[in-house]
Each structure stands twice: as structure tokens, then as C-alpha cells.
């Protein structure tokens, strides 16, 4: 019994094999868009939002009071003549001193400065808030791009799985044909060339299987990389390439949806608004600004001889001449505003191009799927008929090999058509700005 226990304990302590990660398209996108552990581009976009919020806080600080405090102690000496103080006393033997000190000054004071009216600073703060909204829209645009990237990688992995399954099925079919050829040669109804042909076909199928396994591994690594997950993670994809009839939509309807949903279009509109506000802020620098100031504290020659003192007032600042810096900044901001106008117009044309291309690709891919399904059905019938004829002895193995080759081509055509159809749907969803809703 003791020996049995010693043999069983290591088996019980051995680590269990890691369970593969079951992955649907929705789950893959969720992992990639995770705020902390997702794709690197998503994390960088979040940091850009935080940076924009910090810049907005800096712009807001110009509108809030600036309060500071100071405590100081000084020991001073002064040359009164250097300061223009000369006192002559008409008393013989008495001379007013020109050097005084040392004496001490103790001062504890709080100071306040506030912009009471500065239209330019208000405009800059409004521009910074618009910049935060633009950064958030840009972050959402990055999320859409990452979602589309992961969706395409997921579909590529499904295509690789389908190709591998087809290659495995073709190997089994080639093994069955080889067995049939050997049996017929043994029975005297077959020839050696047919066995050799069947073996050659089996070797080709095994070669194709090796290639498919390699492509499957690469496709899964690309998917894991897009998700920003450890490349050693084992995957179990729950989806399959399939055909789902799309919803009918026109170019006008798709373009309207895109202009309402696309985050990059919203971001561009907000960048345009920010440029307009910045330009307005530079123009308003010519207006006077009103600044309030105040301080309060105690000052004296010693700590027990201090007295409270205070200062308060307002200052009206009127810009007169700054060497042309304001005019230069105004020209620069006007140029930035024109650039954003050009970008906005160009982006709208790009969105329309993407929608038209995606709709055309989707229609073409849908037709390809229908043709590929029909071709696969016909090739299956041809292969079945060729096998029956070969078994009956009314045809040789060459006819079966030709039918098998056409069946493989039909399989490849169907997989490619379904993949192109899935890619076209992803392209259209990304062009319309609905990619995240589609994958869910």
C-alpha cells in the first residue's frame, strides 16, 4: 500500500494542462478594448485624453484667483545718499547719518491676484474644453479602428481553421482512395499506376495540411497580437465563417449614418471648433483686461512690534504695441482654422469613398458566396459519381483525382468567398461607424 501511495502522489501533484481560451468575436473585441489591459493603441488614446484634460485645467487656472503666502525676515543696512536722501541740519557739530542699520524687518503676508475680465482667457479655456471633447472622440475612433482590426484578425483565424479542416478532410479522403486502389489491385481489377497516383495525391494532401497548420498558427498569433494577449495563449474559436444576408441600405443612408456615428468625423468637427475658438482668443487679446490684486499681512522691526498692513486695488491693462506678436499669432491661428476646414472637407469625401467601396465589395462578395456554394455542391456530386464509377470498375483513378482536385478548388473558393464577405461587412460597419455595435 505504501508503494502505491508513493506512485500516486506525483500524479496528483502534476500540473493540469492549461484550458484554452474560448473566444467569440465579441469577447475578442472586449479583451482588446479593455481600458487597462487592452490594445496598446487604446491605452495610448486614454492617455491622450488625460493629457488634454490636464491642458484644459491649465487654461482654467488663468480664470481662477492666484493666492500665495510668504513669510520673511531680513537684516538690512542702507546708504541713504545712494537712495537720494540728503539731510543737512544747520546745527554745528551735528551731521545727519548717511548710513543706517543694521535693522530687521519681519513680514508675513498673503497675496491674491485674479483676472476679473479677460475675454481672451475665457476663449482659450473654451477651446481647451473643446479639445478634451475632440480627444475623447479621437479615443473612440481608435477603439473603432482596434475593433475592426481584431474583427479582421478573428475572421482570418476562422478562415485558417476552415482551411485546416478542409485539408484534414482531404487527407482522409486521399487515404480512403489509396486504400480502395490497393484493394482493387489486390483483387486484380486495378493497376499499379493507380496506386502510385493515389499515393502521390495523398502526399500532396499531407503537404497541404502542413501548410494549413502553419497558416493557422500565424493567424492565431496575429489575433493574439491584435488583442495584446500573450502569444502562448491557447485559443478555441467559437465562431465560424458563415453567410448572413445583409440589411439593404443605400449610399445616402449609409453616409447619413456615418456622419452621425463616426467618431473620427466628430473629432474633426471638434478640432474645427477648437481652431475657431483659438483664433477668437487671439483676436480678443486686443481688448483691455481687468485684474484685481490684494495682499494682507503683518510687518515690523521685530516679532513683537509688527502691525497689520494691506493693499488692494484693480488694474486695467490696455494692449498698445507688442512688436507685432499678436498679429503674427492671429495669422497663425487663421491658418490653423483653414487647415481644419480643408481636413474636414477631405474627411467627408474619404468617408463617402469608403462607404461606396464597402457597399460594392459587399455586393460582389455576396454574389461570390452564392456562386461558390453552387460550385461546391456540383463538385461534391462530381466527386461522389467519380468514386462510384471507380468502385464499379467503369473508370480509372485519374477521373477520381481530377474530381477531387476540383472539389478542393471549390472548397477554397467557398472559404475565400465567405472570408471576403465577412471582411466586406466589417469594412462597411467601420465606414458607417457602427463596428462596435455590429460585433456585439
pLDDT tens digits for range 42-80: 999 999 999 999 999 999 999 999 999 999 999 989 888
Structure confidence at residue 428 (pLDDT): 95
- With H, G, I as helix, E, B as strand and everything else as coil, classify residue 100: strand
CB-CB contact of 213 with 186 (8 Å):
no
* Mean residue pLDDT across the chain: 89
Mean predicted confidence (pLDDT) in 294-313: 91
11 pLDDT higher than 50? no
Q: What share of residues in the chain are helix, strand, coil (percent, to 5)?
A: 65, 15, 20
Q: Does the pLDDT of residue 167 top 90, yes or no?
A: yes
- Coil, strand, or helix at residue 323? coil
Q: What is the pLDDT of residue 416?
A: 95
What was the pLDDT predicted at 30?
Answer: 93
112's CB contacts (< 8 A; 6+ apart) are 65, 66, 67, 292, 293, 294, 295
Helix (H) or strand (E) holding 70: strand 66-79
pLDDT value at position 6?
37
Q: What letter does residue 15 receive in the DSSP assignment?
A: P
Helix H or strand E segment including 321: none
Q: What is the mean pLDDT of residues 270-278?
A: 95
User: Is residue 396 over pLDDT 80?
Assistant: no
- Of residues 297 and 11, the one with the higher pLDDT is 297
pLDDT at 347 over 80: yes
The residue with greater pLDDT, 295 or 19, is 295
**DSSP per-residue codes, 209-221:** HHHHHHHHHHHHH
8 A C-beta contact, residue 15 and residue 5: no
Grid cell at residue 179? 486504400
> Per-residue pLDDT averaged across 25-34, rounded?
93
CA angle (171, 407, 186) in 5-degree steps: 50
Question: Which strands form 99-117's sheet, in the order they lie side by side?
Answer: 66-79, 99-117, 289-300, 306-317
Query: Can you tell me the distance from the alpha carbon of 369 to that of 416, in angstroms, rounded to the nearest whole number?
Result: 9
pLDDT of residue 2: 42
Cβ pair 229, 27 in contact under 8 A: no
Length of the chain: 440
Question: Between the CA atoms of 129, 134, 140 and 143, what dihedral angle is there, to the nearest 10 degrees?
Answer: -120
Q: Would you place residue 378 in the very low, low, confident or very high pLDDT band (cuts 50, 70, 90)?
A: very high
Distance spanning both ends of the chain, measured CA to CA: 57
C-alpha cell at 388: 462510384
Mean pLDDT of 346-360: 96
Confidence of residue 100 (pLDDT cuts 50, 70, 90): confident
- Domains of the chain are 19-69+117-288+325-439 (1.20.1600.10)
What pTM did the predictor assign?
0.83
> What is the C-alpha to C-alpha distance for residues 338 and 51, in angstroms, rounded to an integer?
25
Cα dist from 140 to 24, 147, 275, 298, whole Å? 22, 10, 21, 55
What cell was used for 151?
474583427
Amino acid at each position: 500500500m505504501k508503494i502505491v501511495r508513493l506512485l500516486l502522489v506525483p500524479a496528483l501533484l502534476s500540473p493540469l494542462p492549461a484550458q484554452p481560451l474560448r473566444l467569440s468575436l465579441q469577447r475578442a473585441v472586449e479583451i482588446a478594448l479593455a481600458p487597462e489591459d487592452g490594445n496598446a493603441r487604446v491605452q495610448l488614446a486614454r492617455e491622450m485624453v488625460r493629457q488634454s484634460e490636464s491642458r484644459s485645467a491649465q487654461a482654467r487656472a488663468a480664470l481662477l484667483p492666484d493666492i500665495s503666502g510668504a513669510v520673511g525676515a531680513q537684516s538690512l543696512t542702507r546708504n541713504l545718499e545712494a537712495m537720494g536722501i540728503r539731510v543737512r541740519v544747520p546745527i554745528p557739530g551735528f551731521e545727519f547719518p548717511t548710513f543706517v542699520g543694521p535693522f530687521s524687518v519681519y513680514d508675513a503676508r498673503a497675496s491674491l491676484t485674479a483676472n476679473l475680465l479677460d475675454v481672451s482667457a475665457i476663449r482659450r479655456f473654451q477651446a481647451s474644453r473643446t479639445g478634451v471633447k475632440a480627444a475623447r472622440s479621437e479615443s473612440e475612433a481608435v477603439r473603432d479602428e482596434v475593433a475592426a482590426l481584431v474583427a479582421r484578425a478573428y475572421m482570418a483565424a476562422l478562415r485558417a481553421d476552415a482551411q485546416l479542416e478542409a485539408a484534414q478532410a482531404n487527407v482522409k479522403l486521399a487515404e480512403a482512395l489509396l486504400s480502395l486502389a490497393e484493394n482493387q489491385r489486390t483483387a486484380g481489377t486495378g493497376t499499379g499506376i493507380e496506386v502510385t497516383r493515389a499515393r502521390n495525391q495523398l502526399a500532396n494532401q499531407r503537404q497541404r495540411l502542413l501548410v494549413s497548420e502553419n497558416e493557422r498558427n500565424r493567424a492565431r498569433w496575429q489575433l493574439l497580437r491584435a488583442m495584446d494577449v500573450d502569444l502562448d495563449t491557447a485559443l478555441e474559436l467559437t465562431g465560424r465563417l458563415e453567410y448572413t444576408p445583409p440589411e439593404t441600405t443605400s449610399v445616402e443612408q449609409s453616409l447619413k449614418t456615418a456622419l452621425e456615428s463616426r467618431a473620427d468625423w466628430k473629432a474633426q468637427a471638434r478640432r474645427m471648433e477648437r481652431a475657431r475658438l483659438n483664433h477668437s482668443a487671439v483676436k480678443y487679446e486686443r481688448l483691455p483686461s481687468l485684474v484685481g490684486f490684494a495682499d494682507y499681512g503683518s510687518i515690523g522691526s521685530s516679532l513683537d512690534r509688527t502691525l497689520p498692513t494691506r493693499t488692494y486695488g484693480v488694474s486695467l491693462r490696455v494692449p498698445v504695441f507688442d512688436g507685432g506678436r499678436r498679429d503674427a499669432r492671429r495669422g497663425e491661428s487663421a491658418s490653423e482654422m483653414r487647415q481644419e476646414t480643408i481636413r474636414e472637407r477631405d474627411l467627408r469625401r474619404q468617408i463617402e469613398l469608403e462607404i461606396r467601396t464597402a457597399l460594392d465589395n459587399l455586393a460582389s462578395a455576396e454574389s461570390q458566396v452564392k456562386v461558390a456554394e453552387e460550385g461546391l455542391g456540383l463538385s461534391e456530386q462530381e466527386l461522389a459519381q467519380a468514386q462510384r464509377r471507380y468502385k464499379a470498375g467503369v473508370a480509372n483513378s485519374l477521373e477520381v483525382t481530377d474530381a477531387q482536385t476540383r472539389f478542393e478548388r471549390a472548397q477554397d473558393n467557398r472559404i475565400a468567398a465567405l472570408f471576403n464577405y465577412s471582411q466586406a461587412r466589417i469594412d462597411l460597419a467601420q465606414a458607417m461607424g457602427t463596428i462596435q455595435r455590429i460585433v456585439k
